[in-house]
């Protein structure tokens, strides 16, 4: 091997007449009989090599045999090109090769490296190390790398200290399913992989590390989505002697810094805030996409006056108005109807606005003066379509919340490169779980209740607001956190409400409860979903595009075929017996 003097993206016209060595992969071969052009590639770029049979002293027949993705090492002279290639950063020059070494000849490739679309995803995942040679993934991983650096630099400069917490920890009730790790030394007992380092970071506050952060892997054994992997990365932050405003101001500044330094986008100095209540009512969703309008409107007062009886018994009736939607054909409306049905809606009612009147769909159930009132109140315009769902609150919000995003995409209302951050505040502390028949924490059991609501903890727990906050950008929840409970008694009260009795609380969280008795400072924090943040920076809808070795929707790694069977000896050593599945 000739040790490289330059990378494949480095050479410019000021290098002309220099003798250089390059190492890399064959990107393309253009064979013209007596002259051969080869683009050599590494992660820095591409450079054209030329082999001329009249000048090349080596074995020209060997050069002819070179094929795409072979690894080579060359030495030669930089010279100006006859015709410049403006597509290439190194397009002003080429390297006339004197010596060639083929370092590794590639086997026939399962798919084409220069085109990510040339193979289906399962194939690319099986050969992920090849897909990682593509420009897009190399760019995305570079974004990710630069984000780590910006985060570490910003937080370090602000006196945050990076502390590693255990990956083998105690399994906790509540929240996501844990990934369990059997203990060999203590047969029959298990560690869990952290869903987040939540308890550890709170203990670090008790220990006096008043500004902590960590870029840390977290694990949740739940079903996957386009933006969810079983193992993912958080930027975990916790601070002492602070309130919500401190966390929000540092987090806003950190987010702005990342967007500025990584993709050169300037976000507003402060991010707008919305309450959970308003977000649900206006957008049907606790992570609203504010890049477009199409707000949910409560229309129950109108439908109750109409002759359309299907909505009379509905708990809630809401509508979205799509400008220009009156062009929708029966077929498109059917598609939208099927779409809202996936969120539990029984159907999708509609009316079009044409020539100043409501027409089609269920419009015949609305008498003239009612139509006029609606036109004025809702500021309806010719060309609009009203899409309506009546059902219980959850279904109305879920279905119309999803539909507004669907139609916004359909209508091209989402502008590329537009970022609309928002803080969502004032979450309820608890939700009622119908199946389990008990209260569950909306955020997590360590979230502090709003002091104003503290007396309602016993009388009216579902109306207690928490001191939690989420940061949302473009409909993606990229972070969330809270001010924590730092008082043992309040913590015990919350556990009671969650149906975790004293014994269980002691067994599961005794260490934390006890720690809170030894001088626990007021504290709070936030965790950013790093992968989702990178998705925004990389402008991709899929989390697999920002993770080097991701898993499939069924949590498999197609590359190494995990999870896989283990030997009987391994199981025996752990004291584990498998139950035969039928």
Q: Which of residues 11, 398, 533, 535 is near RNA by CB under 7 A? A: 398
CB 424 within 8 A of CB 244: no
**Shortest distance in whole angstroms from residue 469 CB to RNA:** 13
- Candidate ranges 22-30, 247-255, 266-274, 381-389; the one touching RNA (CB under 7 A): 22-30
**Shortest distance in whole angstroms from residue 159 CB to RNA:** 25
Task: For Cα atoms 44, 37, 138, give the angle at the middle one, nearest 5 degrees.
Answer: 20
**Shortest distance in whole angstroms from residue 545 CB to RNA:** 9
Indicate the residue among 386 and 441 with the shorter CB distance to RNA.
441
Strand bridging mode 349-354 / 357-359: antiparallel
Task: For Cα atoms 138, 140, 141, give the angle at the middle one, nearest 5 degrees.
Answer: 65
Number of residues that bind RNA (CB under 7 A): 73
> What is the radius of gyration, based on Cα positions, of the chain?
30
- Within 255-294, the residues that bind RNA by CB under 7 A are none
Find, among 307, 288, 306, the residue nearest to 296 by Cα: 288
Indicate the residue among 6 and 444 with the shorter CB distance to RNA.
444
CA distance 8 to 439: 60
CB 399 within 8 A of CB 345: yes
Q: Which of residues 71, 542, 574, 576 is near RNA by CB under 7 A? A: 542
Measure CA of the first residue to CA of the last residue in the chain; give whole Å. Answer: 57
- Candidate ranges 24-32, 158-166, 361-369, 416-424; the one touching RNA (CB under 7 A): 24-32
Does 558 participate in binding RNA (rule CB under 7 A)?
Answer: yes
Q: Which of residues 196, 214, 491, 492 is near RNA by CB under 7 A? A: 196
Does 418 participate in binding RNA (rule CB under 7 A)?
Answer: no
**Shortest distance in whole angstroms from residue 357 CB to RNA:** 35
> DSSP label at 35?
E
Indicate the residue among 30 and 189 with the shorter CB distance to RNA.
30
**Shortest distance in whole angstroms from residue 192 CB to RNA:** 11
**Shortest distance in whole angstroms from residue 442 CB to RNA:** 6
- Candidate ranges 163-171, 209-217, 272-280, 551-559; the one touching RNA (CB under 7 A): 551-559
- Within 443-472, the residues that bind RNA by CB under 7 A are 443-445
- Within 25-44, the residues that bind RNA by CB under 7 A are 28-35, 37, 39
CA 207 to each of CA 3, 12, 204, 408: distance values in angstroms, whole numbers, following the listed order: 50, 55, 5, 49
Does 165 participate in binding RNA (rule CB under 7 A)?
Answer: no
**Shortest distance in whole angstroms from residue 356 CB to RNA:** 37
> DSSP label at 53?
T
Indicate the residue among 306 and 466 with the shorter CB distance to RNA.
466
- Within 210-229, the residues that bind RNA by CB under 7 A are 220, 222-228
Alpha helices in 158-299 (DSSP H): 198-206, 244-263, 276-283
What CA dihedral angle connects 20, 22, 28 and 31, to 10 degrees?
A: 50
Indicate the residue among 260 and 342 with the shorter CB distance to RNA.
342
- Candidate ranges 13-21, 209-217, 258-266, 434-442; the one touching RNA (CB under 7 A): 434-442
**Shortest distance in whole angstroms from residue 266 CB to RNA:** 29
**Shortest distance in whole angstroms from residue 64 CB to RNA:** 7
- Candidate ranges 140-148, 336-344, 345-353, 371-379; the one touching RNA (CB under 7 A): 336-344
Those residues with Cβ within 8 angstroms of residue 547's Cβ, 6 or more apart along the chain or in another chain: 229, 232, 531
Indicate the residue among 247 and 380 with the shorter CB distance to RNA.
247
CA 545 to each of CA 231, 380, 473, 532, 550: distance values in angstroms, whole numbers, following the listed order: 14, 41, 18, 10, 8
Find, among 238, 380, 388, 373, the residue nearest to 298 by Cα: 388
Indicate the residue among 67 and 158 with the shorter CB distance to RNA.
67
Q: Which helix (H) or strand (E) holds 122?
A: helix 121-126
CB 205 within 8 A of CB 160: no
Does 491 participate in binding RNA (rule CB under 7 A)?
Answer: no
Find, among 452, 471, 474, the residue nearest to 463 by Cα: 452
Q: Which of residues 121, 261, 295, 411 is near RNA by CB under 7 A? A: 121
**Shortest distance in whole angstroms from residue 302 CB to RNA:** 27
CB 242 within 8 A of CB 525: no
CA distance 329 to 237: 50
SS3 240: strand
- Within 66-95, the residues that bind RNA by CB under 7 A are 67-68, 81-85, 87-88, 91, 94
């Amino acid at each position: 091997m000739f040790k490289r003097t330059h990378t494949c993206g480095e050479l410019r016209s000021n290098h002309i007449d220099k003798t250089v060595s390059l190492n890399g992969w064959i990107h393309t071969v253009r064979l013209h009989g007596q002259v051969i052009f080869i683009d050599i590639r590494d992660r820095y770029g591409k450079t054209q090599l030329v082999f001329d049979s009249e000048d090349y002293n080596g074995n020209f027949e060997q050069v002819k045999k070179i094929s795409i993705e072979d690894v080579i090492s060359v030495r030669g002279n930089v010279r100006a090109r006859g015709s410049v290639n403006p597509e290439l950063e190194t397009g002003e020059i080429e390297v006339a090769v004197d010596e060639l070494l083929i370092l590794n000849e590639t086997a026939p490739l399962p798919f084409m490296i220069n085109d990510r679309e040339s193979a289906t995803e399962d194939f690319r995942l099986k050969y992920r190390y090849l897909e990682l040679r593509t420009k897009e993934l190399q760019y995305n991983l570079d974004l990710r790398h630069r984000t780590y650096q910006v985060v570490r630099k910003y937080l370090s400069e602000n006196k945050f200290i990076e502390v590693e917490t255990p990956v083998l920890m105690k399994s906790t009730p509540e929240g996501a399913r844990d990934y369990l790790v059997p203990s060999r030394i203590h047969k029959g007992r298990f560690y869990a992989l952290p869903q987040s380092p939540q308890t550890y970071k709170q203990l670090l506050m008790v220990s006096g590390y008043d500004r902590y952060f960590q870029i840390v892997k977290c694990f949740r054994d739940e079903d996957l989505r386009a933006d969810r992997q079983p193992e993912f990365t958080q930027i975990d932050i916790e601070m002492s002697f602070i309130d919500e405003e401190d966390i929000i101001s540092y987090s806003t500044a950190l987010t702005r810094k990342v967007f500025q330094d990584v993709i050169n986008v300037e976000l507003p100095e402060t991010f707008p805030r919305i309450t959970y209540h308003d977000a649900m009512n206006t957008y049907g969703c606790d992570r609203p996409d504010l890049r477009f309008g199409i707000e949910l409107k409560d229309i129950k007062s109108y439908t109750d006056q109409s002759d359309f009886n299907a909505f009379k018994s509905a708990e809630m009736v809401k509508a979205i108005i799509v400008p220009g939607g009156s062009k929708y054909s029966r077929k498109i409306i059917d598609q939208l109807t099927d779409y809202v049905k996936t969120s539990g809606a029984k159907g999708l009612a509609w009316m079009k606005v044409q020539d100043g009147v409501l027409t089609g769909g269920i419009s015949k159930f609305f008498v003239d003066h009612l139509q006029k009132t609606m036109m004025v109140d809702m500021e309806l315009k010719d060309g609009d379509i009203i899409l309506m769902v009546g059902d219980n609150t959850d279904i109305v919000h879920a279905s119309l919340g999803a539909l507004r995003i669907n139609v916004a995409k359909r209508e091209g209302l989402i502008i590329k490169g537009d970022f609309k951050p928002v803080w969502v505040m004032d979450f309820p502390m608890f939700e009622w779980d119908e199946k389990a028949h008990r209260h569950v924490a909306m955020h997590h059991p360590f979230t502090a209740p709003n002091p104003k609501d503290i007396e309602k903890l016993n009388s009216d727990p579902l109306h207690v607001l928490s001191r939690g906050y989420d940061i949302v950008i473009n409909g993606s929840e990229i972070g969330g956190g809270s001010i924590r409970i730092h008082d043992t008694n309040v913590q015990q009260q919350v556990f009671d409400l969650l149906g975790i009795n004293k014994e269980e609380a002691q067994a599961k969280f005794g260490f934390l409860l006890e720690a809170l008795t030894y001088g626990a400072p007021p504290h709070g924090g936030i965790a950013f979903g790093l992968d989702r943040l990178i998705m925004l920076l990389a402008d991709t809808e899929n989390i697999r595009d920002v993770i080097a070795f991701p898993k499939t929707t069924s949590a498999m790694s197609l590359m190494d075929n995990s999870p896989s069977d283990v030997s009987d000896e391994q199981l025996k050593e752990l004291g584990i017996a498998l139950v035969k599945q039928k």
